[in-house]
C-alpha cells in the first residue's frame, strides 16, 4: 500500500505537457485588453475613479501595480475601528492582490493619522458590475467597459 501511494503522489507532481496554462485576469502591464472602471464612493459622492486595462496572463505574471488616492470627508466619519474628523485627510490604496479565471482580487486599504481604517479585498468580476461595501457608507464598484466603438448593452 505504501509504494502505491508514493507512486501516485510522484505522478501527480510531474508537469503534464499539453495542459492549458493557468491564466487569470490581471490589471496593468497589458498591451491590449478590456477596460475596468473602478469607483470608490461615500454616500453616493464619487471619491475616486480610474480605468484599468485588464487582460489574461499566467498566474505567475501578476504585476505589482498600485493606485493611490486621497480624500477629505466634509463630516466626521466613524470607521469600524476609529474615526476621522471633518476635513481630515484619508489616504487610500488599491492593488491587485490576486487573479482568478473570472475575476481580479483587488486589495483596498484606507488610512488616516497613521492608523489603518480599512484593509479588505474586493472581488472585481471581469464580466459584470461588482459592488462591495468597504465600511459604513463607503462602497467600491467595478464595471467592465464595452470595447471602444461598441454600444453599451
| Under 8 Å between Cβ of 40 and 48 | yes
Q: What is the pLDDT of residue 151?
A: 54
pLDDT of 129 > 70? The answer is yes
d(CA 45, CA 51): 18
Beta-bridged to residue 46, according to DSSP, are 41
| Contacts by 130-133, CB closer than 8 A, 24 or more apart | 130/103
Predicted structure pTM score = 0.79
pLDDT of 77 > 70? The answer is yes
DSSP notation for 58-79: EGGG----EEEEEE--SS-EE-
d(CA 111, CA 99): 25
Q: Provide mean pLDDT across the span 144-153.
A: 68
d(CA 110, CA 120): 9
Amino acid at each position: 500500500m505504501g509504494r502505491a501511494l508514493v507512486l501516485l503522489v510522484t505522478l501527480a507532481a510531474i508537469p503534464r505537457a499539453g495542459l492549458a496554462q493557468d491564466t487569470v485576469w490581471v490589471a496593468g502591464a497589458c498591451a491590449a485588453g478590456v477596460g475596468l472602471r473602478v469607483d470608490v464612493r461615500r454616500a453616493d459622492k464619487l471619491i475616486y475613479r480610474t480605468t484599468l486595462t485588464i487582460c489574461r496572463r499566467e498566474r505567475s505574471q501578476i504585476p505589482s501595480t498600485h493606485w493611490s488616492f486621497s480624500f477629505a470627508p466634509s463630516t466626521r466619519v466613524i470607521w469600524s475601528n476609529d474615526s476621522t474628523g471633518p476635513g481630515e485627510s484619508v489616504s487610500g490604496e488599491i492593488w491587485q492582490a490576486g487573479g482568478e479565471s473570472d475575476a481580479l482580487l483587488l486589495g483596498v486599504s484606507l488610512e488616516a493619522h497613521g492608523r489603518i481604517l480599512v484593509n479588505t479585498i474586493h472581488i472585481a468580476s471581469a464580466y459584470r458590475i461588482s459592488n462591495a461595501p468597504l465600511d459604513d457608507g463607503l462602497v467600491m464598484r467595478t464595471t467592465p467597459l464595452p470595447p471602444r466603438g461598441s454600444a453599451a448593452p
